[in-house]
Structure 1
């Protein structure tokens, strides 16, 4: 039997300064980087949530792919042009040219991830045109005399006209929002009421284009929308004016076809659709195209709402 008292005892000591890898401080640096990235991410979300639609659109336009006139990529703000082939308008036809324009979020990139620019309830916008300010020094010769039968009759006619314009605007709005097939196009319609006319603005909105790009060919949904509007107007007898509008995007000068021709062609295409809806050709007083000279959005001349058709129902000669 061995004597345990005489056995050699070996004691192992470890240098605590070294430690093991997972006890080191490297993970703290990685964690700090992660928290910094998360802080920047939530700061970005807060900025997007606090910004209005105009600022969001400007931010989206800043990151939109662009080309210089020479065809090379450009980072100079004064030299930016929409990414498209020469001779094709902004958001050109997909199979035209050698440059493939992005289609995802093309008309309004911010709509892709901002629910405030998306998912809006169907609603036809009704606006009231600004009335001319009355003169500060009324002309006694033109002042209405309540005892004058002519003045009383004029006031009654004006009141009847206003009520009829209100009724027509409401009927057009109800016709569009009550149709499941047209409800998603409600935001493409803007009704403007004045004392002597009702103007129906049918405009591009976000990714809902009314016409084929650079063409007067009417899309199928626009056709149904114009048929619905024409069906309501056909029951009236007032004269009708149609004006075509475009944005500031232009063609190659060599083609000889400009926004003037395009806006006029779209106005005439709209006239033909309204005639198919039952409006007599004798009611059309004027069909014209004004190109990009009367934009709705003056801050962004390429904005989709500048591409529109104005259908004016005249209740009083201007």
Structure 2
């Protein structure tokens, strides 16, 4: 060149921002996306694989340490060190070895799926007391029947106690009345399904009424008053019936056993009302003549002439309501 001058050519980039738009970040981003895809693919494989295969996969990728065997174990000394007097073995005087990490002690996949945990964490479950289930229709019906049976038994016991008390009271008053001495056999008690039937019987030597009449004799009047006093406080109604024997009795005006039995029943009703029993409790007064004899095999017997006073106290049943 002319004059011996050296020509130096310098090139300058006009854009000073090209360093920020290089291609290196794309490579890093691609590596990150690849790693994320591999990670989510691993999660999907774990979720879609059964437990047995997962356990096999975990054992394959889990490193485990086996006991190290020194070299020369196959030689004459089988890996043992020879110690000379006054010399330390190679293992003595060395610092203690640090604890090796326990590889394989825990399942690395247990963090992803609780099904893979060999020893799941202890879970304390507290059970709240369960609410009692509502009774079934069968239980309700059984309880209702049991309650009804108990109430029925209680009513039967109450009825028996009332009737026992009435009988005892009447018998005690008869025994304490001098003019009634010796006629206790004229009163008969019978318990039926309808209640307590008290029958005042006629006797040959101790008639209840004058012959062929409805007039009550004195000892019968006293007996009816005792019966009325015993029944005065009872709430049940009374049914009175008159009976005769089979001997024909008829007056010229046609007055016979039907009329006589009815009049004697009505006379007894008046005597009971006079003894303190409310007339409203008289449910029935009837004359039955000789149709219901006390001794059917002896229809002419004097005992068939009688007055029946029925205390209507029926035997309790399951369908009967309790007495108020």
Runs of 4+ in structure 1 deviating by more than 4 angstroms, as ranges, are: 144-147
1:275 pairs, out of 273, 277, 302, with 273
Distance in 2, matches of 1:232 and 1:302, equals: 32
What's the CA shift for 1:180?
1.4
What's the CA shift for 1:317?
7.8
2:180 pairs, out of 173, 177, 182, with 182
1:207 alignment counterpart? 205
**Deviation digits for residues 7-64 of structure 1, max 9, x if unmatched?**
xxxxxxxxxxxxxxxxxxxxxxxxxxxxxxxxxxxxxxxxxxxxxxxxxxxxxxxxxx
| 8 A contact 2:156–2:315 mirrored in 1 | no
Instruction: Check if 1:292 corresponds to 2:300.
Output: no
Distance in 2, matches of 1:303 and 1:165, equals: 29
Distance in 1, matches of 2:170 and 2:243, equals: 21
1:109-120 matches, cutoff 5 A: none
Cα RMSD (Å)? 2.2
1:193 alignment counterpart? 191
Secondary structure at 2:277 match in 1: coil
2:117 alignment counterpart? none
**Deviation digits for residues 164-203 of structure 1, max 9, x if unmatched?**
1112111111111221111222111111123541111001
2:118 alignment counterpart? none
| 8 A contact 1:161–1:196 mirrored in 2 | no
Distance in 1, matches of 2:256 and 2:184, equals: 29
Distance in 1, matches of 2:156 and 2:280, equals: 25
1:163 pairs, out of 150, 161, 164, with 161
Runs (5+) with no aligned partner, structure 1: 1-143
Q: Give the TM-score, by structure 2 length.
A: 0.51
Distance in 1, matches of 2:310 and 2:235, equals: 13
Runs (5+) with no aligned partner, structure 2: 1-141, 317-324
CA gap 1:251/1:196 in 2 versus in 1, 3 angstroms: closer
What's the CA shift for 1:163?
1.6
Alignment length (residue pairs) = 176
Instruction: Check if 1:312 corresponds to 2:310.
Output: yes
1:244 pairs, out of 242, 245, 251, with 242
| 8 A contact 1:169–1:198 mirrored in 2 | no
Secondary structure at 1:192 match in 2: strand
